[in-house]
């Protein structure tokens, strides 16, 4: 998958869900108790998801659970560009949120590549 295609999917996913995946304490979650998930959590297959993944930074998650790497691969990016891409996706999700806890999203036209 190309980077722009992956980013477009992140934006579409966020728009459809309409709020961030957070737990009762306001922590971002890959998969939240209310059934929402962040864009990373949405890409983790059910059979590979483990509750202990929660609160683990994305790069640490990929290092610890190498079987997840194929679900996050992007064509034509160097390793540093790949890392930057996923950081930018995360920043986009955060920027789209209103005040912490409200979870409503506003969408900006945005391209990564």
* DSSP 8-state code for residue 22: B
**Angle, CA of 23, 84 and 113, to the nearest 5°:** 110
- Measure CA 19 to chain center: 12
% pLDDT > 90, the chain: 17
Mind listing the pLDDT tens digit for each residue in 59-74? Answer: 889 889 999 989 888 8
CA separation for the pair 23, 39 (Å, rounded): 15
Spell out, as residue ranges, where the chain has pLDDT lower than 50.
98-113
Q: How many residues does the chain have?
A: 113
For the chain, give the mean pLDDT: 78
What is the pLDDT at residue 45?
94
Judged by phi (left if over 0) then psi (alpha if -120 to 50, else beta), residue 16 lies in alpha
Q: Residue 46: what pLDDT? A: 94
d(CA 58, CA 91): 12
């Amino acid at each position: 998958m190309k980077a722009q295609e992956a980013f477009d999917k992140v934006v579409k996913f966020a728009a459809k869900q309409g709020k961030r995946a957070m737990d009762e304490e306001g922590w971002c979650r890959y998969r939240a108790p209310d059934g929402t998930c962040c864009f990373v959590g949405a890409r983790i297959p059910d059979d590979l998801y483990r509750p202990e993944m929660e609160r683990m930074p994305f790069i640490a998650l990929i290092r610890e659970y190498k079987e997840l790497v194929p679900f996050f691969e992007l064509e034509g990016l160097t390793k540093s560009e790949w890392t930057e891409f996923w950081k930018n996706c995360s920043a986009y999700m955060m920027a789209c949120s209103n005040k912490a806890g409200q979870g409503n999203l506003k969408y900006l036209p945005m391209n990564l590549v």
